[in-house]
Amino acid sequence: MALNLIMLGPPGAGKGTQAEAVAREHGIPRISTGDMLREAVQAGTPVGLAAKARMDAGSLVSDEVIIAIVRERLARPDTAAGFVLDGFPRTMGQAEALDRLMAGREPLLVLEMIVPTDVLVHRVRGRRICERCGGNATPADEATCAKCGGTLMQRRDDSEAVVRERLRVYERDTRPLVAYYRDRPTFRALDGDQPPAVVARAIRDAVASAREAARAAERES
């Protein structure tokens, strides 16, 4: 059974780190909105050019463009055994479009990572990324990226004021997705305010439980 997983949670919840670990464990791609945008822009695809034009103008990338990029990415052969989506969907329009894209595929599993706001702000203010590859630093990293050796730096948008604004945007635009997915048998919520290893075990258990629920629903249909 393919593992098609969505990681939901606010900025700083640890989605990226945990999504990468799940993808590595199951041998499937971790797909993030940021990665997809960078790939599309660098490749010069039509949707990439459209995204670049909006970003250069200082505008948000529209749902239409993001959905087109996701459609292209999910059509690649490496997603046949599944994928982990990190940062998509972010709006109701994106969630509804993803349901359409999933027609004929294994069901979506949805994990929500819950973390208190003050903890999120503290985490995000202290996190670093690689200026070369854009990867998130791990607690073991010191001054250089473990992946490529690039210099680690704080993101410009990780100041407290910007973080709190991003959290407000998450509550307004993305938090409603929890209600959209909550009644599905493959939805699970977990406490993300724990050590990474504890969260990883909780995710492993949640994925196993959600996959069993998906199989049960399939048998009943």
What is the CATH classification number for the domain harbouring 25? 3.40.50.300
Q: pLDDT tens, 45-101?
A: 887 888 788 767 656 678 888 898 899 889 999 999 999 999 899 899 999 999 999
- The answer to whether residue 164 sits within a structural domain is no
Residue 156: count of CB within 10 angstroms of its CB? 7
Residue 38: count of CB within 10 angstroms of its CB? 14
- The answer to whether residue 132 sits within a structural domain is no
* Type and span of the H or E element at 8: strand 3-8
pTM above threshold 0.85: no
Range of the domain at 92: 3-115+175-220
C-alpha–C-alpha distance, residues 200 and 208, integer Å: 12
Is the pLDDT at 140 greater than 60? The verdict is no
- The answer to whether residue 128 sits within a structural domain is no
Residues identified as active-site: 15, 90, 127, 155, 166
CA distances from 4 to 30, 165, 192 (A): 10, 30, 20
- The answer to whether residue 167 sits within a structural domain is no
- The answer to whether residue 184 sits within a structural domain is yes
In the numeric block, the tokens 């990415």 are attached to 73
Q: pLDDT tens, 201-218?
A: 999 999 999 999 999 988
Q: pLDDT tens, 124-134?
A: 776 777 878 87
Q: Could you give the number of structural domains in the chain?
A: 1
In this prediction, residue 58 carries a pLDDT of: 55
